[in-house]
């Protein structure tokens, strides 16, 4: 019983923390992902923290980046070497001999995806398109066909031609785009995302992009100053979703890690479930919930 409890505690701790450094590796890191359902290898193209959002729930703002330089460029040879090393260690199971990972249940010891995430917005990197092709090559050579290439994005650059071109190629290589939409109204967006990117830009990007490409919508709802999102905010959010084209499903989650603001706290499980049910009823979409614990 003690061993089982210890294993669950270790796993929950790691899925809530998601460190972006692993040993001596600087640009690729392994995590056990709740939303992927297993092992995900993160690609960090923004070790300097390059992002155009400053979300109230952002773990990176709370803990700081791992940057050792202000350079926006990542050495591609180093990134490729790290990626190959981690893929190999996942394939031969030596990764799961390491502390924390040795507690992961057998059914979770499966490489599910290689994800562009890290310390900032991946598509702001001038090396994004180049890295997409590099990852696609490594995936084709070393990974099972089922392994996805995932982009986690705030949707601020989906209108840019180079980004759309890179994502078109990514989708041809079992890619999946997880695009964020954390609000239904401009006021709520400004409070949560704290970005100079207009809310209308995000909404227009998502509306236009999903006419051509399928996306997974990622949404973090949380309690702010002890208040959950209002019914009207959720209604407006659902209306935004209804204007989108190809939505594979919605990932509805709440705060699970450290936040930069003490007043930004997780919703209770039942509160998240209530919101999910409201969104399902109003949109007819597949809405999946991920709790803080």
17 pLDDT more than 90: no
pTM for the full model?
0.91
Give the C-alpha separation, 145 to 157, whole Å. Answer: 28
Given a cut of 50, whether residue 14 has pLDDT beyond it is: no
Residue (of 130, 30, 136, 19) closest to 74 by Cα position? 130
**pLDDT tens digits for range 184-240:** 999 999 999 999 999 999 999 999 999 999 999 999 999 999 999 999 999 999 999
**Residues 119/61, Cβ–Cβ less than 8 Å:** no
* Cα–Cα dist 171/24, whole Å: 31
List domains and CATH numbers for the chain.
2-290 (3.20.20.70)
Q: How far apart are the first and last CA of the chain?
A: 20
Q: What is the mean pLDDT of residues 94-107?
A: 94
């Amino acid at each position: 019983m003690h061993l089982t409890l210890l294993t669950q505690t270790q796993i929950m701790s790691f899925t809530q923390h998601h460190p972006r450094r692993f040993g001596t590796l600087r640009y690729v890191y392994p995590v056990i992902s709740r939303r992927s359902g297993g092992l995900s290898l993160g690609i960090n193209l923004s070790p300097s923290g390059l992002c155009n959002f400053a979300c109230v729930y952002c773990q990176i703002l709370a803990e700081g980046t791992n940057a050792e330089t202000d350079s926006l460029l990542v050495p591609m040879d180093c990134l490729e070497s790290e990626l190959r090393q981690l893929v190999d260690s996942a394939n031969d199971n030596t990764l799961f001999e390491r502390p924390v990972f040795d507690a992961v249940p057998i059914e979770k010891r499966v490489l599910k995806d290689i994800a562009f995430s890290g310390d900032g917005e991946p598509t702001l990197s001038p090396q994004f398109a180049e890295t997409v092709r590099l990852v696609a090559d490594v995936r084709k050579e070393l990974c099972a066909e089922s392994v996805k290439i995932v982009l986690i994005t705030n949707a601020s650059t989906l209108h840019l031609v180079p980004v759309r071109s890179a994502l078109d190629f990514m989708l041809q290589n079992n890619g999946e785009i997880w695009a964020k939409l954390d609000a239904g109204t401009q006021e709520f967006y400004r409070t949560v995302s704290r970005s100079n990117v207009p809310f209308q830009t995000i909404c227009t990007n998502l509306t236009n992009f999903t006419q051509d490409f399928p996306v997974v919508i990622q949404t973090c709802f949380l309690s702010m100053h002890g208040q959950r999102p209002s019914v009207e905010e959720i209604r407006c959010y659902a209306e935004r979703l209804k204007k989108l084209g190809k939505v594979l499903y919605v990932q509805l989650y709440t705060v699970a890690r450290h936040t930069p603001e003490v007043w930004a706290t997780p919703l209770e499980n039942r509160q998240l479930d209530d919101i999910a049910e409201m969104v399902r009823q109003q949109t007819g979409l597949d809405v999946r919930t991920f709790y803080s614990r």
